[in-house]
């Protein structure tokens, strides 16, 4: 390289101004999204210590305040609003009110799933059927707390056991089926209902014969989960029944299975 070329290169190096380039850091991807404020506000941190332990209706109402933040599909929300209005219109006791309303999938006696609105009131539990659009109410059924004996929350399922005669005894579907199994089930339900009405039913007999099962259909956004919703509903029902003067008992699936096994082995009643 000539002396002139070397001089030109040295002059170019002397006049070069370095340019800094900013490279943004790569975002960190977490396994699950951080809970939003609205989702966190839906959580009842200690259902047993607040909802279940409520010593008054005011305390129970305050403990259940976060449930008003539960979110549902648009048509489920419309069905809930219609169901709440229907329950308020049909309130059978002075001072009755809606404490919790939740859209659920109800499982009937034949294992068929049906959309329902489940409403916990001060005097009982209501299950409401609405139209597909949720704009109209088809029917309202109430289980008073005097007929609810045990409440179980297992996973995403809420189960109520009681002395109320199963609807299968009055179901046209059962009459149409006409099978030996259906007829036997109807006969057992009728006999159970008559025994309760006459007061001749033995204590602790057939505690779990009449069961209603519900699966909450809440839009669960972490940390809100469907098992948490089922758990809160079970605590609300037990607390409301106690404040009403007809306390139901919370049980677990394990305790129920063990109790039934004990009955089978002893051939008689048992005490939970």
Instruction: Determine the average pLDDT of the residues in 238-254.
Output: 96
State whether 196 and 231 are in the same domain.
no
Beta bridge partners of 100: 120
Residue 42 maps to a domain: yes
Residues 129 and 58 in one domain: yes
**Rounded distance, CA 87 to CA 98, Å?**
8
**What pLDDT, in 10s, does the model give residues 84-121?**
999 999 877 777 899 999 999 999 878 899 999 999 99
Please write the tens of the pLDDT for every residue from 44-100: 999 999 999 999 999 999 999 999 999 999 989 999 999 999 999 987 777 789 999
Shared domain for 146 and 44, answered yes or no, is yes
Residues 142, 82: one domain? yes
CA distance 89 to 80: 14
Same-domain pairing of 153 and 171? no
| Separation between Cα atoms, residue 212 and residue 248, nearest integer Å | 14
- 155: which DSSP letter? T
Q: Which residues contact 49 (CB under 8 A, 6 or more apart)?
A: none
Query: Each residue of 151-203: pLDDT tens digit?
Result: 999 999 999 999 765 554 444 333 333 444 443 443 444 444 434 444 433 34
How many residues are listed for the chain in this entry? Answer: 272
Question: Per the structure block, which two tokens stand in for 32?
Answer: 């699950």
Cα-flanking dihedrals φ and ψ of residue 253, to 5°?
Answer: -60, -40
pLDDT of 2-59, one tens digit each? 666 555 655 655 554 544 444 444 333 333 333 444 667 899 999 999 999 999 999 9
Q: Is the pLDDT of residue 128 over 70?
A: yes
Residues 222 and 148 in one domain: yes
List, edge to edge, every strand of the sheet that includes 210-216: 137-144, 124-130, 113-121, 98-107, 210-216, 157-162, 148-154, 249-251
Within-domain flag for 27? no
159 and 186 share one domain: no
CA–CA gap between residue 237 and residue 257 (Å, rounded) = 22
Same domain as 124, residue 138: yes
On whether the CB atoms of residues 48 and 42 are closer than 8 A, the answer is no
DSSP reduced 3-state for 220: coil
């Amino acid at each position: 390289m000539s002396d002139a070329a070397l001089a030109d290169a040295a002059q170019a190096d002397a006049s070069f101004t370095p340019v800094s380039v900013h490279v943004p850091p790569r975002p960190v991807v977490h396994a699950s999204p951080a809970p939003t404020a609205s989702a966190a506000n839906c959580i009842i941190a200690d259902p047993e210590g607040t909802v279940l332990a409520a010593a008054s209706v005011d305390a129970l109402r305050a403990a259940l305040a976060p449930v008003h933040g539960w979110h549902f599909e648009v048509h489920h929300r419309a069905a809930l609003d219609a169901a709440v209005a229907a329950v308020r219109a049909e309130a059978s006791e002075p001072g009755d009110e809606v404490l919790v309303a939740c859209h659920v999938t109800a499982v009937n006696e034949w294992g068929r799933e049906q959309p329902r609105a489940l409403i916990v009131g001060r005097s009982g539990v209501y299950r409401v059927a609405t139209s597909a659009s949720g704009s109209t109410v088809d029917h309202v059924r109430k289980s008073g707390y005097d007929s609810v004996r045990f409440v179980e929350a297992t996973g995403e399922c809420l189960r109520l056991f009681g002395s109320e005669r199963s609807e299968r005894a009055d179901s046209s579907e059962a009459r149409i089926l006409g099978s030996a199994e259906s007829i036997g089930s109807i006969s057992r339900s009728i006999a159970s209902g008559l025994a309760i009405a006459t007061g001749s039913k033995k204590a602790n007999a057939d505690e779990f014969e009449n069961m209603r099962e519900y699966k909450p259909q809440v839009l669960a956004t972490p940390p809100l989960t469907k098992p948490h919703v089922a758990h809160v509903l079970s605590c609300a029902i037990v607390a409301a029944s106690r404040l009403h003067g007809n306390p139901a008992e919370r049980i677990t699936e394990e305790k129920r299975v063990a109790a039934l096994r004990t009955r089978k082995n002893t051939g008689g009643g048992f005490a939970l």
